Amino acid sequence: MYKQHIFRTLIFGFVGLVVALLAGFLSPKVYEGRVEMLIGEAGRVGGSNTLTEEVSSIVDRGRQRNAATERQILSSQGVFFNAVQAVSERTGDTGLLVRWPALYLQYDVETARTNSQTDEAGVAIIKVRAGSPELSAEIANQVSFVFNDVRQRESRAALEDGIRALEGRVLSAERELKAAEGRLQAYKTETGIADLALDIQGAAASKNNLEAGLDQANAELAAARATVTEYRRQLQTIPSRVLDTEQKASSPIIPQLEAQINQLLQERAVLSGTYLDDSPQILRIDSAIKQMRTELARAEKNPLSNVNIMTRLDSLRQTIQSNLKIGEAQVAALSARVNALSTETSKKQAVVDKLPARERQVIQLQRDVAIQDENYRRDKTQLEILRSRAATGVRSAATILNTAQPNPDPIAPDIAKFGFIGLFAGLSLGLLVSFLIDSLKSNIRSAGQLSYLTGLPVVASVPALKAPAPRALKSLARRTQEPAEGYRYMAFALGSNSHADPLAYGFTGTRGASLATLGALQFAISAAKTGQKVLLIDAELGRSQLSRAFELETAPGLREALAGGAANIDALAQSTPYDNLRILPTGIGETTTLADYATTEVERTVDAAKTIADIVVMSLPPCDLHVDAVAVSRLMNVTILTVSALRTNANQIADIVDMLKNAGVTNLRLVLADAVSNSNFAMGDSSDLAKVE
């Protein structure tokens, strides 16, 4: 059965493969045009740090958003239709405007992250598919141009909105600045302190400078104290003297002090380019230089020093001690500087605190003028920036990484994919149809079902053969194969036969099947092995399968027995490789059915066969092919109908049973061949063979 399923499945798979390949070859070819664009970050406007947040929000309305938003714009029908319309006008192909919905269905935009790995940036891949490589490439390029044009229009509109907003703000800031200047001038005129205002402003500025200098001096003092603390900590870890030989050497402090003085002079030269000579920074450097020179003069008075023959001062410790003295001198100088600045700041604060209320009002009005002036200048600067951008033009919103080029290789149809899908669909459909056909068949599946349908006993149930019937017949005839267990069980049941008279068994089947012939041979072999004499008669004159299996197709046999009145049947019976088994071949002649002979001749032949054997087994033609089985079966003691579980349906079985019963057959038994592997090989009804009258 599984072979039929495999055969049907392979047929459907082949048909599906052929249909799919034909569909693939006959389908129109589709070509793809690809353009890669950098979106998301390419449209950002540079120099946005010079614009306020309010102005930037107006200008940024024309800027690109994240990659997902830009992909939606690229994927929109409007952008694609404008691109197709432009290509149609340029090429003169008006049919594009009719076909554009079908082209849009094949249009796609993919995005990929850039190396910066930001959510706002990405590479958009525009894919346009059309019937020619030139058309797909041209539409893809036009889509990128249309997208840039849309973005440029939005950017220009946003710039114009920003310019209009700033123009209004500049006019308003200019009016507010003039009003603030007018209020200051009016107050000065009213109070008569126009000249005093400069002194007030100078005092306030001096106070602010003193406070700044005091903060800086405190910071420098803290740093110098930290340095002195670190030097003292290092001196605690370094020994004061080390072993050495006696020698004369110059003091190491002199070159160190000279190097430090040169370094301070260089720093003073650098600061002189920025500060005046009376600035705190310059004064601090001068104080340190002066102290260093004092130390250098003291050291130069004793340039040479005798080192003890056993020990000497550690050079690193001397260096740290020297640096410590310098640091202590700097701390002292900075402390004096901080005290002086603190005193001056307190004095200036007292002066400022004593200013009259009118003088403070002047300061407030001057601050208002400064604020309005700053607002006016900022808005004016932003307006000039936006006007400059508008005059120079808006650059492309997205950078085109590569333009589309006509690709002569089509992307569809994919013949291999078509073939695979067709083959898979065909195999699946074939398997489904095969099982559906098998499920709709009214075949007999089991011995119980067959017995229930016909009301007759099933004497054996044998599995399907692994080899074809002709080969199986030859194997049995040459003793290279054993009979099925079901037939051996049938032959064993004959051992309980108490009848003294020989019995005749007729085996028949359905159209085109050799199962009855196989059954007759296996039953005859099994019966012979029980010790009884068996005569096997090949009554299939048209096919002579048993005669060919025993290589006796040219030997005299049944035809000669029928023609000679059955007197010579014992001489016509041929021996076989099996003990107790002889065979009567079909004989020599052209007759094909037993109907060519008189009924009396057939009866005499059967009776004569019973005289030379205990069991006569006659292999008859199929019931629905010739009337031989119907005519001869009534002469048999037992008629065995062989039914195939694979090929015979219930209707055929019912018709054959009715045909045999109408012909006068009374002892009809059934054998189920090609049964499934889990069926019983022999049924309990085999005992009926021993109950034949």
Residue-level pLDDT at 119: 47
Question: What band does 414 get if pLDDT is binned at 50, 70 and 90?
Answer: confident
What would the mean pLDDT of 170-181 be, rounded to a whole number?
91
Question: What band does 522 get if pLDDT is binned at 50, 70 and 90?
Answer: very high
For the cut 60, the answer to whether the pLDDT of residue 59 exceeds it is: yes
Q: Which positions ≥6 away from 513 have C-beta within 8 Å?
A: 622, 642, 644, 647, 648
Three-state helix/strand/coil letters over 91-123 = HCCCHHHHHHHHHHHCCEEEEECCCCCCCCCEE
Give tens-digit pLDDT for 75-121: 999 999 999 999 999 999 998 999 999 999 999 998 765 555 454 55
Question: What band does 681 get if pLDDT is binned at 50, 70 and 90?
Answer: very low
221-244: burial string, b at 16+ Cβ within 10 Å, e else: beebbebbeebeebeeeeeeeeee
What would the mean pLDDT of 178-197 be, rounded to a whole number?
76
Residue-level pLDDT at 243: 53
What would the mean pLDDT of 375-379 be, rounded to a whole number?
90
Element containing residue 645 per DSSP (H, E): none
**453 — alpha (psi -120 to 50), left (phi > 0) or beta?**
alpha
For the cut 60, the answer to whether the pLDDT of residue 378 exceeds it is: yes
Distance CA 23, CA 123 (A): 36
Give tens-digit pLDDT for 591-608: 778 877 888 888 889 999
Residue closest to 170 by CA, chosen among 25, 22, 379: 379
Give tens-digit pLDDT for 9-39: 999 989 989 998 898 888 889 999 999 988 8
For the cut 60, the answer to whether the pLDDT of residue 428 exceeds it is: yes
pTM: 0.44
Question: What band does 314 get if pLDDT is binned at 50, 70 and 90?
Answer: low
Helix 77-91 × helix 95-105 angle, to 10°? 140
What would the mean pLDDT of 374-383 be, rounded to a whole number?
90
Question: What band does 440 get if pLDDT is binned at 50, 70 and 90?
Answer: low
Tokens 């090929």 belong to 647
Question: What band does 306 get if pLDDT is binned at 50, 70 and 90?
Answer: very low
- Torsion, Cα 382 384 385 389, to 10 degrees, reads 140
Q: Determine the 3-state secondary structure of 395 from DSSP.
A: coil
Question: DSSP secondary-structure letter at 278?
Answer: T
Q: Determine the 3-state secondary structure of 498 from DSSP.
A: coil
Give tens-digit pLDDT for 241-286: 655 555 555 566 777 778 888 888 877 777 776 777 777 778 888 8
The gap from C-alpha 18 to its chain's centroid, in whole angstroms, comes to 30
Tokens 């740290």 belong to 320
Give tens-digit pLDDT for 215-224: 888 888 888 8
For the cut 60, the answer to whether the pLDDT of residue 679 exceeds it is: no
88-104: burial string, b at 16+ Cβ within 10 Å, e else: beeeeeeebeeebeebb
Angle at Cα 182 formed by Cα 201 and Cα 199, nearest 5°?
15
What would the mean pLDDT of 631-657 be, rounded to a whole number?
81
**Position with higher pLDDT, 445 vs 105:** 105
Distance CA 237, CA 99 (A): 92
Element containing residue 655 per DSSP (H, E): helix 650-662
Question: What band does 302 get if pLDDT is binned at 50, 70 and 90?
Answer: low
Compute the mean pLDDT over every residue in the chain, rounded to the nearest whole number.
Answer: 81
In a 10 Å sphere around its CB, with 0-12 CB exposed, 13-18 middle and 19+ buried, how is residue 263 labelled?
exposed
Residue-level pLDDT at 195: 57
For the cut 80, the answer to whether the pLDDT of residue 506 exceeds it is: yes
What ranges make up the beta strands (E) of 469-562? Answer: 503-508, 534-538
